[in-house]
Structure 1
Amino acid sequence: MADYYSSFEPKGTRWLLQRLTAAFLVVVLAFHFMLLHFVNHAAEVTFMQTNLRMSQPGYFLTMVAFLVTATFHGVNGVYNALVNQGLDGTPKTVVKYGLILASVLLVAQGIRVAMAMAGFIIGPAA
């Protein structure tokens, strides 16, 4: 029988964070689908409705947490899948820092969009 291998250290920090982010994402994704696909149908959502939702601090913080959590969960999963497939050495380091950079850029842009949707002024005032 083949040995089981995982790049996650059992009960390690990344292992725990992967599980915690999964649980958070299930709850927030259910909330998102309920609100934006059943209460308000996607075709009926307007910029003004989005602006009203995003201007509420609780909703804004939940969506930013959703963005950060989903980014971490996805990137951590991809990285560990690649390591499990045998990625090591210099390519592993390049992929690791490339994914970190992509994550930072994604979260920064996502927060910029969330702030714009909430009505915050981004950049020089006209």
Structure 2
Amino acid sequence: MAERYSSFAPGGTRWLLQRITAAFLVVVLAFHFFQLHFVTHAAEVTFMGTQARMQNVGYFLTMVLFLITAAFHGVNGVYNALINQGLEGTRKKVVLAVLVIAGGALIAQGVYVAVAMAGWI
């Protein structure tokens, strides 16, 4: 029988954070989908409407948390998938650095756009 291998240590911090972020993403993605497909229909989504929604502090914070959580969940998932495929040594460190920089850049750009859309800069 094949042995189960996972880079996530059951009960470990990365394992727990991957599950927590997944649960959060399911809830916020449902909210996001409902908001932009049922409350505001796709044909009615405009730049000005987006600016108006982003000026609501609750909506703004929800979308920024959505961005940060999705970036972490994605980076953490890709990194652990690569570890499961046998990534180790120097390559593991380089991949981690690249993923952290890319994730950080994605978050920084996303927060910048969110703040600009809210009209705060």
Q: Shorter-chain TM-score: which interval?
A: over 0.9
Verify: 1:31 aligned to 2:61, yes or no.
no
Residues 76-87 of structure 1 aligned to structure 2 (within 5 Å): 76-87=76-87
Alpha-carbon distance, 1:82 to partner: 0.4
Structure 1: which 5+ runs fail to align?
122-126
Deviation at 1:43, TM superposition (A): 2.5
User: Scaled by the length of structure 2, what TM-score is found?
Assistant: 0.98
Q: Unpaired segments of 5 or more residues in structure 2?
A: none
For residues 37 and 16 of structure 1, the distance between their equivalents in structure 2, rounded to whole angstroms, comes to 31
Aligned to 1:112: 112
Matched residues, number? 121
Instruction: Give the distance between the partners of 2:98 and 2:40, measured in 1 at CA.
Output: 37
1:7 is aligned to 7
Per-residue CA deviation, residues 82-117 of structure 1 (Å, 9 max, x unaligned), is: 000001111111000000000110000000000011
TM-score normalised by L of structure 1: 0.94
Q: Give the counterpart letter for 1:111 in structure 2.
A: V
**Deviations 1:45-78, CA, capped at 9 Å, x for gaps:** 0111111110011110000000000000011000
The separation in 2 between residues aligned to 1:12 and 1:43, in whole angstroms, is 44
In 2, the alpha carbon distance for the partners of 1:107 and 1:42 equals 25
Deviations 1:16-64 (A, max 9, x none): 0000000000000000000101221223201111111100111100000
Instruction: Report the RMSD for the aligned CA atoms in angstroms.
Output: 0.7
